[in-house]
Structure 1
């Protein structure tokens, strides 16, 4: 798997996130397994091979969004092979991604988040950690990996600020609520007493960094316990953060900066206006 290993190193040099690289590699290996037994045969891949693979994915009812991502991964991989001189033409270049309808992400209202918050009432280490995580996610809009990579030295409790490292290893300052500040003041001293050598702020029962999988399970658990029926993921908190700001009249540019987006077009999907806000606007301005 030398070509894939070289591709991994190439993306690491480009400062692509670990999650992005993992997705690329998973997509490429799935394609290799479908098309050929040996990676060396990748140089013989044609556009027709890729068309057959995309048709297979469609027959398996793989979502258009997933198909588009897999095609993007293949385009990136074959571009890399062209740059290395392994192949002369990218066989995926002319293929178009399936059209994906506009996706309006799920959000948590303040009322729904309050229900989740109130579920956590114990004073043990795990409960204090979990409440702090949820408060921080909801009030800062950080990505999962940004949250999990925060170290104690990155947090300014007095000013309610934290330094996070986003996509492409770009650093930015995020802000958090008074509730998150209070939870951090309650949790961090306990963590330092229990795990004095731990540098990451959010750790497991062994004092090591939490995984993305653990965070997803944590969020899902408390949403279920609170009776929230819709799917809730760590990214739902990010959507909710942006939506609440938009509803309160915060400009798109400021939301872009707070979310750490390099392009404002990436921000626009988060800024759908809630149905409640639309109704309020209608009641204020529509013909009586």
Structure 2
């Protein structure tokens, strides 16, 4: 029993240390760190119940097998994928003593790595979106690791066979990954040929795929489901008052998580009953009515729950050191409210953006004209808002045409033998 106590303390220390690295090195939000530690402690209790008094990465992987069986990560629902990621983070910390950020994982070194860096800078000079150049960097770094394993140190040695062999290592359940990998490698090889660094245009060796990105149908919730989700918030606690106000901003006004977290006192025009701010995503000014229940929830939080602070932001963390919150914390609040409500969230997103979609759906059901919805959601033009038309099933049904009946003579062709 004494030994178990010692090991438990060691495991608790591991959980604490890993959380501190997440918070202080990777700058994860307090809510994120708390969520990670929650799952780590659940694993600790599970291992203790089975008499396992030590931890290593193999035990962590066995724990995942106990939870999900011989799972295929690509087919897991998002919640289970999050658990896998969280446990793997602790395994990584146990094995290495630290955690590495996404940027630190990307290493472009050696002759090929330097050429890849030149290619990335060239893409940036072409004014491609930063997210696109980051994708190129990410997928090329993976390709570079493969080339190193194959002892290939010059792009002139890369042929069609090597490219095809590399493609076999990719997850076949993720066609988008294969598509982005092909695009990055093809663009890199074409760049090298154009710069005269390759004698042959090797980009022709890169096969073409037929991948077409399918936009996902937005997740929406009915009014009664949203009301149920709002009602589960415990407003007797200071954090509950804050969470209630943030959830209402997402439900009633369709604000993004980043805009809720970044809301300042100067953005609330009490005398005019308006909320006015520049959107974090687009930079465009958005003005929305300060609805009565939203305003009352904010006042309740400010009077009875907000910590004393000179911060200009409305919503603050509930623990010391007190400071502003970020979009990830807002997302966590909404997701936990959905889970606590018992609403069926399977195959449905359940963050602030789902509430934004639900507001758009409600406005469409009420026959609100598209320009008004565009203004409410803060879109630059109606082209972005048209994305939501796919969830207006009522209007879509009005576009349905009655199919003419098939005459009986059709089925009697050639004696009707074919249709018998």
Q: TM-score normalised to the size of structure 1?
A: 0.70
Post-superposition CA distance 1:74-130 (Å, at most 9, x none): 59x97xx89xx89999x69x9677213353211121101110111113322100010
Post-superposition CA distance 1:230-264 (Å, at most 9, x none): 13112101101111111111111221222222342
SS in 2 for 1:172: strand
2: distance between equivalents of 1:102 and 1:128? 36
On the 8 A contact 1:136/1:176 being kept in 2, the answer is no
Query: Are 1:153 and 2:271 counterparts?
Result: no
SS in 2 for 1:161: strand
The corresponding residue for 1:35 is 144
Check 1:111–1:207 CA distance in 2 against 1; reply closer, same or farther (3 A cut).
Answer: same
Query: Pick from 341, 344, 360: which aligns with 1:226?
Result: 341
The corresponding residue for 1:103 is 216
The corresponding residue for 1:243 is 361
The corresponding residue for 1:260 is 378
**CA offset at residue 67 of structure 1?**
6.2
On the 8 A contact 2:260/2:327 being kept in 1, the answer is no
2: distance between equivalents of 1:140 and 1:86? 55
2: distance between equivalents of 1:73 and 1:260? 33
Post-superposition CA distance 1:30-49 (Å, at most 9, x none): 4412334799x898899978
2: distance between equivalents of 1:266 and 1:250? 16
**CA offset at residue 215 of structure 1?**
2.4
Q: TM-score normalised to the size of structure 2?
A: 0.50
The corresponding residue for 1:143 is 256
Post-superposition CA distance 1:155-209 (Å, at most 9, x none): 22341323132324333223343221111111123455x1322222222123322
SS in 1 for 2:277: strand
SS in 1 for 2:325: coil
Higher alpha-carbon deviation: 46-55 or 28-37? 46-55
The corresponding residue for 1:208 is 323
On the 8 A contact 1:155/1:161 being kept in 2, the answer is yes
Check 1:58–1:37 CA distance in 2 against 1; reply closer, same or farther (3 A cut).
Answer: closer
2: distance between equivalents of 1:263 and 1:183? 31
Of structures 1 and 2, the one scoring higher in RCO (CA 8 A, sep 6+) is 1
On the 8 A contact 1:154/1:162 being kept in 2, the answer is yes
SS in 1 for 2:316: coil
**CA offset at residue 223 of structure 1?**
0.5
Kindly report the root-mean-square deviation, in angstroms, between the aligned alpha carbons of the 2 structures.
4.3
Consecutive unaligned residues of structure 1, counting only runs of 5 or more, are: 283-288
2: distance between equivalents of 1:195 and 1:45? 64
Q: Report the structure number with the largest CA radius of gyration.
A: 2
Check 1:249–1:197 CA distance in 2 against 1; reply closer, same or farther (3 A cut).
Answer: same
Aligned residue pair count: 262
**CA offset at residue 273 of structure 1?**
4.2
Check 1:56–1:213 CA distance in 2 against 1; reply closer, same or farther (3 A cut).
Answer: farther
On the 8 A contact 2:245/2:298 being kept in 1, the answer is yes
On the 8 A contact 1:116/1:223 being kept in 2, the answer is yes
Check 1:52–1:103 CA distance in 2 against 1; reply closer, same or farther (3 A cut).
Answer: farther
On the 8 A contact 1:43/1:86 being kept in 2, the answer is no
On the 8 A contact 2:262/2:326 being kept in 1, the answer is no
Query: Are 1:62 and 2:174 counterparts?
Result: yes
**CA offset at residue 27 of structure 1?**
6.4
2: distance between equivalents of 1:214 and 1:155? 21
1: distance between equivalents of 2:196 and 2:311? 45
Check 1:97–1:177 CA distance in 2 against 1; reply closer, same or farther (3 A cut).
Answer: farther
